[in-house]
């Protein structure tokens, strides 16, 4: 850790937080020639996109594992991250839902397998749910493919009215190969619930449950308004599937760091921001840098706070302008619980091959009633009476994660409250709840529980401690309709700037487009910073041009 006396030269921009959005912002700024320093309180790079050696020779993700949105954003290609060591393994098949009666000769004995290959996916749906649902799914992908691409475009732009129009206007305009979609129909679909959308399109509860469980990964239950697009995202996975970086999720942030350093930027771990430095030059408060936990001062004309909005507010202290001081977006009562299991075998699902079941997301749910019950328990401040697991076992395709004969299986259980209504202590509950999730997987993959050698449990409280996620919310701020787009984190702060404090910018999951591994908020924040830096130059150029034109007009006047 640098000593307080070792004061580096001023930089153009300091970024608070080495999560993937902070690093993405830093990379876009540095490639434009700006000097950038990233300060991070953790000794591990990457925030929730990081991987550590949890047991000897075993690499385990601390947060995310499957990367979905960033693979649609173009950021990996724009920053040339493959040249800096990032290599994704495609999750294909990207989704697997087990049969409710494996071994049965009828449809209930057949699993659902979602592949990039749409024909193969529809064949799986036809075998498990019937030809009508297979045909409906093909139509669903055709309709929701363009819609989901519009969502991708909106995620990559500032959440202004103009940006949203540019993203979604083509859906309502006739063009080659498509007909105009009435605005009312679009509004009903986009503002409606995922459950209502699924009920309109499909008949099989098994199929609806699998797609609902996929859509629910962003947080809200599919019964909430505005969740239809979360289900519609599956259409894009038939073009580009989720991916897992070789060596673990932290492969993304490690590549971002190498890209940043190649452009002259730097990252300092273990010495995060302690407070923002603010001055008033007579034109209003402006950022002058940050003071770190060691007392070191990093002088900069701009600060990108790629951390939770509540942390940004605390760092500003008495200098927080009203828009920041009064910001209190909904954080919610926790999000989920993660079990990282070291096993001596992979899950074995009856009636399915490892190639079908282990490459992507194992959506272990056969009825939406299970999801509704789990969310209801969460709302009442209880642990779910029937845990609903999502399992991932990327060591099946990545032998860098564990030694021969060992595997890493991640089990995600959603809707676990941070604060329990009966006042129970999460540290006392952790082992028992982890075992219940292991048993929930074992019901679909008999023998899995016997394969478990070690467990690492991340309760909502543990997620807060380890990853600095207030109340264990991995999305920072709730992902409901009222907290998205121009409402995220608040309407006053939705443009990535902090009104009333010049030079302070926001990035990270607290801002548009929200949580998940996308990098979009980091790129958008960097674009705003670059635009603001070029504005004075543009203003000077415009003023000079006006003077020259005025002079020319004066020179042409008759004497």
Residue 295 belongs to domain with CATH number: 3.50.50.60
470-491: pLDDT as tens digits: 999 999 999 998 899 899 999 9
Do 171 and 188 belong to one domain? yes
Asked, for residue 313, whether it belongs to a domain, the answer is yes
CA atoms within 13 A on the CB side of 131: 0
| pLDDT value at 559 more than 90 | no
DSSP string, 414-469: E---SS-TT---HHHHHHHHHHHHHHHHHHHSTTHHHHEEEEEEE-HHHHHHHH--
pLDDT at 555: 53
Going by pLDDT thresholds of 50, 70 and 90, the confidence category of residue 558 is very low
Per-residue model confidence as pLDDT tens digits over 254-279: 999 999 999 999 999 999 999 999 99
Please give the Cα distance from 46 to 53 (Å, whole number): 14
Confidence category of residue 176, pLDDT binned at 50, 70, 90? very low
- What confidence tens digit (pLDDT) does each residue in 46-76 have? 999 999 999 999 999 999 999 999 999 999 9
Which of 236, 268, 292 finishes a domain? 236
- What is the maximal distance between C-alpha atoms in the chain? 101
3-state secondary structure 79-125: CCHHHHCCCEEECCCCEEECCCCCCCCCHHHCCEEECCCHHHHHHHH
Q: Are residues 391 and 378 in the same domain?
A: yes
Task: For residues 323 and 367, state if they share a domain.
Answer: no
Q: Are residues 340 and 410 in the same domain?
A: yes
Identify whether residues 31 and 80 lie together within a single domain: yes
Q: Are residues 348 and 298 in the same domain?
A: no
User: Which residues make Cβ contacts (< 8 Å) with residue 495, sequence separation at least 6?
Assistant: 158, 159, 160, 528
Give the best-scoring range by mean pLDDT among 161-175, 308-322, 527-541: 308-322
Mean pLDDT within 111-132: 98
Residue 371 lies in a domain: yes
Average pLDDT on 408-426 reads 98
Same domain, 169 and 74: no
Mark whether 522 and 437 lie in a shared domain: no
Same domain, 183 and 296: no
- Does any domain span residue 507? yes
Torsion sign across C-alpha atoms 200, 204, 205, 206: negative
Burial of 545 (0-12, 13-18, 19+ CB in 10 A): exposed
| Residue for token pair 């080495």 | 18
**C-beta of residue 512 within 8 angstroms of C-beta of residue 494:** yes
pLDDT at residue 169 greater than cutoff 90: no
Q: Is residue 541 part of a domain?
A: no
417 and 484 in a single domain? The answer is no
Among 171, 205, 236, residue at a domain's last position: 236
> Are 337 and 468 in a shared domain?
yes
Residue ending a domain, among 457, 472, 487, is: 472
Q: What's the rounded Cα separation, in Å, for the pair 554 and 559?
A: 10
Q: Is the pLDDT of residue 439 over 50?
A: yes
Decide if 173 is inside a domain.
Answer: yes
Q: Encoding tokens for residue 484?
A: 């998205």
Using the predicted structure, report yes or no on whether residue 14 has a pLDDT greater than 80: yes
Residue given tokens 């540095």 in the structure block? 30
Q: How far are the Cα atoms of 122, 124, 267 from residue 117, in angstroms, in the given order?
A: 9, 11, 41
Residue 269 pairs in a beta bridge with 40
Does 554 fall in a domain? no
Q: How crowded is residue 479: how many other Cβ atoms within 10 Å of its Cβ?
A: 26
Range of the domain at 485: 11-53+68-87+247-329+475-536
How many percent of the chain have pLDDT more than 70?
Answer: 92
Domains of the chain: total: 3
The DSSP line for 124-148 is: HHHHHH-HHHHHHHHHHHHHHHHHH
The CA distances from residue 29 to 35, 111, 144, 527, in Å, are 8, 47, 34, 8
pLDDT score for 315: 98
Q: Is residue 263, in this structure, part of any structural domain at all?
A: yes
How does strand 361-363 pair with strand 452-458? unpaired
Does any domain span residue 92?
no
Nearest Cα residue to 209 out of 128, 268, 276, 272: 128
Q: Are residues 315 and 186 in the same domain?
A: no
DSSP 176: T
CB half-sphere exposure, 272, CA atoms < 13 A? 19
Residues 433 and 545: their CA atoms lie apart, in Å, by 69
């Amino acid at each position: 850790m640098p000593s307080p006396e070792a004061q580096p030269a001023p930089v153009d921009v300091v970024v608070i937080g080495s999560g993937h959005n902070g690093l993405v912002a830093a990379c876009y700024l540095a490639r434009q020639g700006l000097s950038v320093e990233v300060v991070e309180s953790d000794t591990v790079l990457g925030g929730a996109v990081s991987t550590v050696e949890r047991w000897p020779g075993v690499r385990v993700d601390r947060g995310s594992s499957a990367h979905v949105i960033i693979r649609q954003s173009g950021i990996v290609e724009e920053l040339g991250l493959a040249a800096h060591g990032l290599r994704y393994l495609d999750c294909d098949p990207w989704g697997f839902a087990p049969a409710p009666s494996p071994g049965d000769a009828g449809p209930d004995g057949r699993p659902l397998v979602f592949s990039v290959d749409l024909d193969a996916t529809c064949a799986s749906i036809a075998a498990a749910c019937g030809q009508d649902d297979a045909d409906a799914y093909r139509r669903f992908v055709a309709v929701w493919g363009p819609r989901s691409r519009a969502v991708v475009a909106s995620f990559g732009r500032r959440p202004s009215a103009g940006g949203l129009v540019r993203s979604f206007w083509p859906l309502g305009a006739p063009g080659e190969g498509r007909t105009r979609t009435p605005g009312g129909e679009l509004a009903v679909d986009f503002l409606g619930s995922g459950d209502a959308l699924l009920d309109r399109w499909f008949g099989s509860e098994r199929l609806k449950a699998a797609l609902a469980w996929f859509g629910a990964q962003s947080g809200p239950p599919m019964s909430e308004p505005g969740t239809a697009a979360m289900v519609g995202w599956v259409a894009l996975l038939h073009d580009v599937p989720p991916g897992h970086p070789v060596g673990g999720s932290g492969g993304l942030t490690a590549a971002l760091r190498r890209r940043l350093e190649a452009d002259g930027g730097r990252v300092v771990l273990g010495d995060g921001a302690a407070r923002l430095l603010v001055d008033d030059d007579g034109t209003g408060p402006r950022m002058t840098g940050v003071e770190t936990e060691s007392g070191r001062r990093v002088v900069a004309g701009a600060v990108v706070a790629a951390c939770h909005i509540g942390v940004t507010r605390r760092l500003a202290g008495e200098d927080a302008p009203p828009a920041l001081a009064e910001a209190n977006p909904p954080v919610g009562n926790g999000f989920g619980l993660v079990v990282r299991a070291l096993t001596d075998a992979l899950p074995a699902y009856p009636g399915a091959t490892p190639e079908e079941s282990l490459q992507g997301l194992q959506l272990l749910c056969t009825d939406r009633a299970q999801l509704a019950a789990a969310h209801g328990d969460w709302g009442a401040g209880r642990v779910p009476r029937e845990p609903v697991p999502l399992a991932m076992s990327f060591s099946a395709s990545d032998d860098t994660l564990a030694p021969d004969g060992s595997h890493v299986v991640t089990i995600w259980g959603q809707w676990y409250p941070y604060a329990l209504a009966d006042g129970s202590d999460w540290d006392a509950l952790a082992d028992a709840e982890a075992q219940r999730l292991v048993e929930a997987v074992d019901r679909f993959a008999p023998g899995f529980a016997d394969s478990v050698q070690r467990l690492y449990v991340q309760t909502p409280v543990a997620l807060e401690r380890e990853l600095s996620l207030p109340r264990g919310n991995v999305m920072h701020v709730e992902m409901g309709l009222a907290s998205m787009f121009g409402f995220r984190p608040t309407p006053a702060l939705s443009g990535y700037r902090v009104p009333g404090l010049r030079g302070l910018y926001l990035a990270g999951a607290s801002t548009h487009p929200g949580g998940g591994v996308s990098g979009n908020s980091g790129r958008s924040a960097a674009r705003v910073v670059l635009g603001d830096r070029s504005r004075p130059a543009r203003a000077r150029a415009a003023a000079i041009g006006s003077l020259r034109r005025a002079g020319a007009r004066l020179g042409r006047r008759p004497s």
